[in-house]
Structure formats: C-alpha cells, structure tokens
Amino acid sequence: MSGTEPNGQGEGAELTYTPEDLVDWVESLVAVLESVDRSQNQYWCSQWWNHPEAVDRFRGLYEQWLEAQANGGMSSWWIDHFDRHATVLFAKRGPFEECGTTHVRTTARRILATEQPPHNWSW
C-alpha cells in the first residue's frame, strides 16, 4: 500500500501506512470495541484479511480515523464512519456470514453482473 488520500477529505494531504499498520489497528479496534454475538446475527472472522470487502472497509475506516486523529472530529468518525461500516461488516449477510469460530472459504462469490450502457447513453 502506498500513500492514500481519505475519501474526498483534505486533498493534498498524503496519509501513508503499511499493511502491518492496518493489521495492528484492526486488531486493536476489534479487541477493544466489538463484541460479536452470533445469537444476535453478528458475525466475525479471525481471518478478516481474507475477505476483500472487509479489507476495503477497514482501509476506508483507518484512513478516516487517521484524518480524524490529525484534524479532530473523532465523534464524527464514530457516527459517520464506524457505525455505518460496522452494521455491514458484522451483519448476518456481511463479509463474514459464512464464518463462525474459524474462517470458511466462500464457495460462491457474490458478483453482480454489469453491462455497458449503449454507445449513445448519457445522463
């Protein structure tokens, strides 16, 4: 991973982190913040890094967390970023839905079909 800019925030400000930084952050975040209860239809996988959607969501959360740490706004980070992603990440139909106490390789990846619009298409 190279430097990235947070989603539309602070153009020109380069945030640099390594895969190890992300792993450490996710592990400390999950260990401190989340209690996932399968009886409440909440799911987690210890191999979160093996789920592309989860990695993308955690990367986005981490980038916004770095921005909030640097510029203030942690309250907004919780409400506008973490709470919204957590409802998807840990949901029954989220990226960890087939995992229980161990990682389960997804047998069929859900990929939505797309088609190119007609040549003269416009909005």
Question: Dihedral of the CA atoms 73, 77, 80, 82 (nearest 10)?
Answer: -170
List per-residue pLDDT tens for the chain, 123 residues long: 334 444 444 455 566 889 999 999 999 887 777 677 777 888 888 899 999 999 999 999 999 999 999 999 999 999 999 999 999 998 988 998 888 777 887 665 667 777 888 888 877
Q: What is the CA radius of gyration of the chain?
A: 17
